[in-house]
Amino acid sequence: MSTDAQTPGTATASPAGATPRHLTGNYAPVAEELTAHDLPVTGRIPDALSGWYLRNGPNPADAASGHWFFGDGMVHGVRLEGGRAVAYRNRWVRTTRLTDGARMYDAQGRRDLAAGPANTHVIRHAGRTLALVETALPYELAPDLGTVGPYDFGGRLTTAMTAHPKACPVTGELHFFGYGILAAPYLTYHRADASGELTVSRPVEVPGPTMMHDFGLTAGHVVFMDLPVVFDPALLGAGMPYRWDDAYGARLGLLRRDDPHGRVRWFGVEPCYVFHVLNAYDAPDGTVVVHVMRYPELWRRDRAGAVSGSREAVLWKWTLDPATGTVREEQCDDRPGEFPRVDDRLTGRQADFGHMTSANSLLRYDLRTGAATAHDFGPGRTPGEAVFAPADGTAGGPGWLVTYVHDAADDRSDLVVLDAADLAADPVAVVHLPARVPYGFHGSWLPDGP
């Protein structure tokens, strides 16, 4: 499989009359919802792993969609407990779009915030498990992955919610944003407290409707990315309705967490696009450091509408200096990859290590030295995003990486558990799943307990 097998920015165009690439191979949806118990395991699952690994992704119920990003959400989960793989379960997120054919916009341009596919991420906050997509409201899931319904924080959330909220490990607050496309405000910042109450909602002025997929959070700041991939209504119905715009410019916005309604300071950067932030933190010298997977450009269209510019992302580091109003931009590596993650308990703090997916391997970066270690799964075995599952209560301490891996030889999938500190070693455990898990997006390790 090519190195861009799961790269979000990769174009999915196919020759006329051919099945679109995002509906073939392991992109193709599965047709059944399954529940299986006592799954076979090669190796041994660590006793400390007790909880659910959940991952979301597009799985169009009608086996068709105009782009990989558009398919109905399906959550795949594996339950680990007592050294056993207790169960596997996959369930569609039963949105009103799936069950009733609801549309995001009606003929008058009115928006139905419950009519998204809920297909991008799945998290837990304040006791609720939420399936997310950036264009609509979250959907709450039951413990068995059944759908409870759309969740709007008791009626207080009146915008869409990003699929990449950030939970502060110190305060328990959930920071997120929503972006609009047809009318201002094009960006709104939100904050919910540890109990799940929405406490902050404030518009942020930006020039136009950009696709803002992710953002950064530090102990003291929120970092917005206002980048030149813009909504174009002329592209509706023709795949992704976004395109590169040379005239838009690129900048990063810095908002102090202790002044959530205050001024956003903007810092210009070289034009690029970023789907995903690895992590961000406040450095001792007063600068703000952000590690991202950076594309030099994305979805550039020629006069005939053909798409180019969907090159691969590599790891970069931005250092924002509030004292001088400048940004230092550094490329950290030249290996392409995506889906970067750190130990979630270090969100907003300086993390020594970060992980990303690259072709048929996972990479572990030492963010202090720049050194990297790889785990190669072998020919035809393609991993998804790897999530850190801690071994104890020490943030940044020992733990494991868990990820779904597709084997093209037998068209089956496994859940693979790797020792994060010894990534090049053989897997600690391989859970053999009863069904194929299509390529998807993001997930979470949800441990037992509070």
Give per-residue pLDDT as tens, 26-64: 999 999 999 999 999 999 999 999 999 999 999 999 988
CB 130 within 8 A of CB 141: yes
The pLDDT value recorded for residue 11 is 44
Q: Which residues of the chain have pLDDT under 70?
A: 1-17, 108, 304-305, 309-310, 450
As a whole number of angstroms, the distance between CA 367 and CA 61 comes to: 41
What's the burial of 293, exposed, middle or buried (CB within 10 Å: 0-12/13-18/19+)? buried
Is 0.85 surpassed by the pTM of this model? Answer: yes
The pLDDT value recorded for residue 239 is 77
The pLDDT value recorded for residue 3 is 33
The CB-based long-range contact list for 244-251 (8 Å cut-off, 24+ gap) reads 244/273, 244/297, 244/298, 244/299, 244/300, 244/301, 244/309, 246/271, 248/207, 248/208, 248/210, 250/226, 251/226
The pLDDT value recorded for residue 63 is 85
The pLDDT value recorded for residue 67 is 87
| Neighbour-count burial for 205-216, b at 16+ CB within 10 Å, e otherwise | ebeebbbbbbbb
Name all domains of the chain by residue range, CATH numbers in brackets.
21-447 (2.120.10.30)
The pLDDT value recorded for residue 12 is 47
DSSP string, 31-83: ----EEES--EEE---TT--EEEEEEEE--TTS--SSGGGSPEEEEEEEEETT
| Nearest CA-CA partner of 69 in 57, 80, 78, 81 | 57
The pLDDT value recorded for residue 183 is 87
The pLDDT value recorded for residue 1 is 25
